[in-house]
Amino acid sequence: MNRLEIKRWEGRSFFRVLILAAVIGLITACATVPLTGRSQLNLLSDAQLFRMSLDSYREILSKSKLSQDQAKVAMVRGVGQRIARAAEDFLRENGLEHEIAKYQWEFNLIDDDKTINAWCMPGGKIAVYTGILPITKDETGLAVVVGHEVAHALAKHGNERMSQALLIQMGGIALAVALAEKPQQTRELYLAAFGAGATVGILLPYSRQHEYEADRIGLTIMAKAGYDPRAAVGLWERMNEASKGKRPPEFLSTHPAPESRIEYIKEFIPEAMEYYRPGLNQPVRQRIAWHD
């Protein structure tokens, strides 16, 4: 073998090593969505996401006006507590007990009647805007929204969208590099990936598959929390009605709602009803934190 052939062989070998490393990285980044069993690719670690989540959540709250309506705040936090406990039960029942400690639940109501939105960041950082309350109408309607958003977090859809955005918009560079080279763009991608992008003017739509998964898991969670999952049909009908003839609410900008969606929800209501216990009032977990 001459020198040229050796160099070619070394080049091909190095290329094979890179491919093998990439394949191993993809395999180790694969996760499975609870309940649906779908495989997904999550390139970001929980530690990275949770660190960004806490920083972003604090920043958003510092720039927002928190509601001083004690009745509404109490409702959001009360619903949130019950959904949080049900979410932990859901993780436990799906063999994901090790995930429970990662969630430090926090629920806040932002005083903004023009914004019809709610979102949940990794680690259980949740915000609801007062603009969505006329559509949710009561605790059960709110439980549909909060359960749906928490389901996105449990299924790690935001990680999946953020990973896709890094691959497509930044050429697949690592999060640490993206933060160092393009901090503002990376931050905006992060907020957009978790439905909080209205604050920066960017919204990344969930895929229909993500939406169906969040609907299905959310129905189960709200039922486990003692809320009637059949109320989800009315909630989404009101949400669709609110979007007719005007700019769609932020909640629908990140959550596409075709007519077939309601039929899909109806399909999985019987599954969720198996967990429903009317009048269930689950106790508050002491480690839930509030922002005062």
Indicate if the alpha-carbon torsion angle 256, 262, 268, 274 is positive or negative. Answer: positive
Cα angle vertex 265, ends 245, 143, to 5°?
A: 80
Neighbouring CB atoms inside 10 A of 92's CB total 12
**What confidence category does residue 277 fall into, taking pLDDT thresholds of 50, 70 and 90?**
confident
Catalytic residues: 149
Pairwise CA distance, residues 276 & 270, whole Å: 10
Percent above pLDDT 90 for the chain: 41
Residue 141 has pLDDT above 90, yes or no: yes
Q: φ, ψ for residue 227 (rounded to 5)?
A: -105, 140
The amino acid occupying position 241 is E
**What confidence category does residue 158 fall into, taking pLDDT thresholds of 50, 70 and 90?**
confident
Residue 219 has pLDDT above 80, yes or no: yes
Pairwise CA distance, residues 44 & 178, whole Å: 12
Pairwise CA distance, residues 85 & 6, whole Å: 62
At 16 the pLDDT is: 39
Residue 42 has pLDDT above 90, yes or no: no
At 170 the pLDDT is: 67
Edge-to-edge order in the sheet of strand 125-129: 106-110, 125-129, 118-121
Lowest mean pLDDT among 111-125, 198-212, 230-244: 198-212
For 108-118, b/e burial (b = at least 16 CB within 10 A) is bbbbbeebbbb
Lowest mean pLDDT among 88-92, 128-132, 205-209: 205-209
At 178 the pLDDT is: 66
**Mean pLDDT across the chain:** 78
Residue 288 has pLDDT above 60, yes or no: no
* Residue 33 in tokens: 């969505």
Residue 267 has pLDDT above 90, yes or no: yes
Local structure of residue 235 (DSSP, 8 states): H
Local structure of residue 96 (DSSP, 8 states): -
> Between β-strands 125-129 and 106-110, what pairing exists: parallel, antiparallel or unpaired?
parallel
Single pTM value for the model: 0.76
Average of pLDDT values for 93-112? 93
Q: Which of 58, 57, 27, 60 is nearest to 42 (CA)?
A: 27
Lowest mean pLDDT among 104-108, 122-126, 215-219: 122-126
